[in-house]
Homo-oligomer: A and B are copies of this chain.
Amino acid sequence: MRKDLNMLVKIFVKFDGLDEDSIDQFLDIAILKDFKKGELLVREGEVCDKLFFVEQGLVRSFYHKEVKDVTISFSLAGEFITSMSGFITQKPTYENIEALEDCVVLEFGKEKLNELFVREPNWVNIYRQILEEYYVKLEEHLIFSKFKTAKERYYELINKKPQIIKTASIGQIASYLGINIETLSRIRAGR
């Protein structure tokens, strides 16, 4: 097993039914990649057939709404990320995913994953758990963004993912919170 992939190993011990051999099977189909700050992991308009795991760094998922870009999510080291809806439906995605800083990423092709699922039904369950986790997170985010004020949402973000505040721009954070730049600026100024 690749002992240098700290994050992946750390995350996988959470899942049921995984020993070192299983993890090796998974790593066999992974491609280790570097993305420089600003590079795109996923590009809108293309079919997204890859699942990514962030080993190091920070990525942002966003889409374009008229002239602005709107942040969907930030993903830290130790998280899976893809255009989930695009990955599921295999239609051209509206999402972009960019590296907010230099990143080390594991890339899993959908084809290879499906082959693995056929070969090792055990892994379908792992993928299921990833999906489930993804779902619960999205639901939390929905409730978070629907029923809290802009101020509450900002302070909750500071607590939960302080790295983001440091790395992302005001505009990126504002669109994630669903408010405009000026409003966020005022919240930060404490007004």
- State in angstroms the CA–CA spacing of A134 and B140 once bound together: 14
Verify B142–A135 contact, CB threshold 8 A.
no
**Pairwise interchain contact A84-B135, C-beta atoms closer than 8 A:** yes
The one of B128, B139, B141, B146 that contacts A178, using a Cβ cutoff of 8 Å: B146
A140 to B70, CA, bound (A): 14
On chain A, the number of residues with a Cβ less than 8 Å from chain B's Cβ atoms is 28
Which of chain B's residues have a CB closer than 8 A to the CB of A145?
Answer: 142, 145-146
- Complex CA–CA separation, A145 to B178 (angstroms): 10
Q: Which of B65, B131, B140, B147 contacts A65 (CB 8 A)?
A: B147
Do most interface residues of chain A lie in helix, strand or loop, or is the interface mixed? helix
- Is A187 interfacial (CB-CB < 8 Å)? no
- A124 B128 Cβ-Cβ under 8 A: yes
Is A121 part of the binding interface, using a Cβ–Cβ cutoff of 8 Å?
yes
Minimum CB–CB distance for A158 against chain B, Å? 20
Query: Which residues on B sit within 8 Å (CB–CB) of A146?
Result: 145-146, 178
A136 touches B178 (CB 8 A): no
State whether B135 touches A88 (Cβ < 8 A).
yes
Bound state CA distance, A147 and B66, in angstroms? 12
Residues of B within 8 A of A136 (CB): 84-85, 88-89
A145 closest partner in B (C-beta): B146
Contacts of A128 in B (CB 8 A): 124, 127-128, 131
A132 within 8 A of B: yes
A85 near B139 with CB under 8 A, answer: yes
Residue of B70, B125, B131 touching A135 (CB-CB under 8 A)? B131
Q: Is A13 an interface residue (CB 8 A)?
A: no
Distance in angstroms from A32 CB to nearest chain B CB is 26
- Cβ–Cβ contact A132 & B88, under 8 A: yes
A11 at the interface (CB under 8 A from B): no
Q: Is A138 an interface residue (CB 8 A)?
A: yes
The chain B residue with its CB closest to the CB of A84 is B135
